[in-house]
């Protein structure tokens, strides 16, 4: 069932949709349908089909999932994964706007994840066991989506090619500002071209600037393909870590023979740098950062999604939904742009790319990244695309469940949830079976003040979304000078290196030391009790370690 339009471009229109099944089964998906104006253009049709055919073969946590390719009344459509995230271009701008630019470790983690997904595509083999040598050819911040779970998804394989195919079509395809030198010269490209583009993406996250200044297309291509020096990260930001700059520079070597020879090599170099730094860069750390930067936007989108799910989307709400889909939410500072529908020949000089459409789509995602099993029949999918006789979209027709549902989340996530004095687990959590009426909800998390709210479930079948923000504990107020105790000598410090299987979050009292593996973390000397927590597996235990002043204690545990 179609719920709301997300984006309309010259090549495709994008819809939020819901698949319903037996016994209350339902999933949110995205339907991308080719516009009628381009269905007669073989090149656009081939791009649309390429995206579906190639991406459907790729099953990797860092690549968007394509579930189905179909045709309804002569119109091609793709059913694809529904992501909760923002592309890296929006992330960079939004972080700067709120005074929280992307941390170096977070940038390295996100690009390492992108490299991992691209390497999987580069070395993918076909059904006969022969390598496909897929090259994305349009790697850019707009096609790298940071998800609110702290992961990253590579999207839009619309202009991807097999390295063995002849690409001399006379037209350059892709975003000029992120092309490799060999791609800008119209030469044959391989996986190393995508590596160069990833290097540009990392450069921009680290320096918070564009790799190349704005210029016309001819100047861009001449600069990239030429012999003049390319910018160094430290020229834009003096405090870029030298080790991380070295990784960027090797990814941006013009001669592909001297570049990282695979996306795997780039991934490994970034992971090695991450291991050398004490900065927190786990997926949970990235998720906490994203949810801080986009907290208001997430809240507004969830309200709109809830209205769409209940078929209560008013005309004004629909306009707000479309604004958020185009990246005009209050947290991005994005400006309005004309979206006039181009002719089939429009934009060919820009590369005939799907990037703008898919970027707009993925800016609009607001619920979790939800999986969808393929529909059981063409008829079932075609009902998703059927408009109502009045020209609008049919409202969803579902029977109300017997009891209301409370969907509870917190910022940051992982807080302990207590409802009516009864522990219920950790956020995010979906609670059904609650009675109608008022319920007392309390959430708590180490290092943060408890938060409590009265929640009223008023109607049978109601789906109520509640998000509670936890404030960090305030620093201790210093005593007046006359009451202030005499300063004591600083306690001697030792260091701890700790690796656990599975991974755990390590706490010393209420202080979070970080996620394992911990590398030479400073701790006061003496016998210390550490608490190890893995919320994914419901694991919590304590260990005692003897920290020796001036020395490093090394422990490896299997829990």
Catalytic residue numbers read 138
Q: What is the rounded distance in angstroms from the CA atom of residue 362 to the CA atom of residue 89?
A: 12
What are φ and ψ of residue 530, in 5° steps?
Answer: -110, 145
- Alpha-carbon distance of 196 to 305, in angstroms, equals 38
Instruction: Check residue 461 and give left, alpha or beta (phi > 0: left; psi -120 to 50: alpha).
Output: left
* Strands of the sheet with 26-34, listed across from one edge: 2-8, 12-20, 26-34, 75-80, 66-72
Q: Is residue 13 helix, strand or coil?
A: strand
Q: Which of 83, 177, 86 is nearest to 139 (CA)?
A: 177
Burial (CB < 10 A; 0-12, 13-18, 19+), residue 353, is buried
CA 145 vs CA 104, 110, 142: distances in Å? 17, 9, 7
- 3-class secondary-structure state, position 239: coil
User: By three-state DSSP, how is residue 490 classified?
Assistant: coil
Pairing of strands 12-20, 511-515: unpaired
Residue 524 Cα distances to 181, 504, 530, 546, angstroms: 52, 21, 12, 10
Q: Phi and psi of 552, rounded to 5°?
A: -110, 125
For 259, residues 6+ apart whose C-beta sits below 8 A from its C-beta are 192, 195, 196, 250, 251, 252, 253
Residue 402: its H or E element: none
Dump the DSSP string for 28-62. Answer: EEEEEEE-GGGTT-HHHHHHHHHHHHHHHT---TT
Inter-residue contact 236 to 214 (CB < 8 Å): no
| Total Cβ atoms within 10 A of residue 300 | 19
Q: Cα separation of 175 and 331, whole Å?
A: 25
Q: Which residues contact 342 (CB under 8 A, 6 or more apart)?
A: 10
CA 94/CA 97 separation, integer angstroms: 5
The kind and range of the H/E element at 522 are strand 518-524
């Amino acid at each position: 069932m179609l719920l709301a339009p997300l984006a309309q471009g010259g090549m495709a229109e994008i819809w939020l949709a819901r698949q319903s099944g037996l016994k209350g089964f339902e999933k949110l998906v995205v339907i991308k349908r080719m516009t009628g104006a381009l269905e007669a253009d073989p090149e656009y049709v081939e791009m649309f089909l390429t995206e579906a055919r190639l991406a459907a073969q790729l099953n990797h946590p860092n690549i968007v999932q394509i579930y189905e390719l179909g045709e309804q009344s002569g119109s091609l459509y793709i059913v694809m994964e529904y992501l909760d995230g923002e592309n890296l271009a929006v992330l960079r701008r939004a972080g700067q706007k709120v005074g929280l630019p992307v941390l170096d470790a977070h940038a390295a983690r996100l690009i390492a994840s992108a490299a991992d997904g691209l390497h999987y595509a580069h070395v993918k083999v076909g059904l006969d066991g022969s390598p496909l040598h897929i090259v994305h050819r349009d790697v850019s911040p707009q096609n790298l989506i940071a998800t609110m779970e702290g992961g990253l998804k590579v999207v839009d394989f619309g202009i991807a090619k097999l390295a063995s195919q002849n690409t001399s079509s006379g037209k350059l395809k892709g975003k000029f500002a992120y092309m490799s030198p060999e791609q800008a010269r119209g030469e044959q490209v391989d996986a190393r071209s995508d590596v160069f583009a990833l290097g540009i993406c990392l450069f921009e996250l680290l320096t918070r600037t564009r790799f190349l200044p704005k210029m016309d297309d001819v100047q861009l291509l001449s600069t990239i393909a030429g012999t003049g020096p390319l910018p160094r990260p430290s020229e834009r930001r003096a405090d870029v870590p030298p080790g991380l700059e070295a990784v960027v520079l090797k990814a941006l070597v013009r001669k592909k023979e001297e570049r990282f020879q695979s996306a795997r090599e780039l991934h490994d170099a970034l992971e090695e740098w991450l291991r050398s730094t004490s900065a927190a860069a786990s997926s949970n750390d990235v998720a906490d950062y994203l949810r801080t930067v986009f907290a208001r936007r997430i809240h507004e989108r969830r309200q709109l999604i809830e209205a769409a799910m209940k078929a209560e989307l008013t005309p004004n709400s629909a306009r707000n939904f479309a604004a958020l889909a185009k990246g005009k939410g209050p947290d991005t500072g994005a400006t309005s742009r004309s979206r006039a529908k181009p002719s089939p020949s429009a934009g060919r000089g820009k590369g005939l790319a799907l990037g703008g459409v898919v970027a707009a789509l993925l800016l609009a995602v607001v619920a979790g990244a939800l999986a969808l099993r393929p529909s059981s029949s063409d008829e079932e999918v075609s009902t998703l695309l059927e408009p109502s006789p009045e020209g609008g979209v049919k409202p969803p027709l579902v029977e109300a469940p017997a009891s209301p549902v409370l969907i509870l989340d917190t910022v940051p996530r992982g807080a302990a949830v207590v409802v009516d004095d009864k522990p219920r687990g950790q956020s995010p959590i979906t609670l059904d079976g609650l009675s109608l009426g008022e319920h007392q909800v309390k959430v708590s998390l180490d290092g943060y003040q408890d938060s409590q709210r009265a929640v009223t479930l008023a109607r049978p079948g109601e789906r109520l979304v509640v998000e509670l923000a936890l404030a960090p504990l305030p620093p201790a107020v210093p005593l007046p000078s006359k009451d202030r105790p005499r300063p004591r000598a600083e306690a001697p410090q030792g260091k701890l290196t700790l690796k656990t299987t599975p991974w755990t979050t390590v706490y010393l009292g209420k202080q979070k030391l970080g996620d394992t593996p911990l590398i030479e973390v400073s701790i006061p000397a003496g016998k210390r009790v550490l608490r190890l927590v893995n919320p994914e597996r419901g694991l919590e235990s304590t260990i005692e370690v003897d920290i020796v002043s001036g020395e490093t204690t090394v422990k490896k545990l299997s829990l």
